[in-house]
Amino acid sequence: MLQFVLLVVILAGLAYGAWRLLRATANRPRTRTIGPDDDPEFLNRLNHGKDPR
């Protein structure tokens, strides 16, 4: 009887851990927004002091 209870507790813990893991990956942002500081050409234009227009 004790082995059965221990098995149920272990399975419940594994199910809870898997559920939490799936929820954590589902809430992660899908894409990354690229800003002007990620664009090397934009930074080069700023660093050279030239008017890009």
**What does the pLDDT read at residue 48?**
65
Q: Give me the numbers of helices (H) and strands (E) for the chain, helices first please.
A: 2, 0
pLDDT score, position 24:
79
Task: Look at residue 44 in the predicted model and tell me its pLDDT.
Answer: 74
pLDDT digits (tens, 9 = 90+) for 1-53: 999 999 999 999 999 999 998 887 766 666 766 666 667 777 777 766 555 55
Rounded Cα gap, residues 53 and 39, in angstroms:
17
- Cut 0.75: pTM above it: no
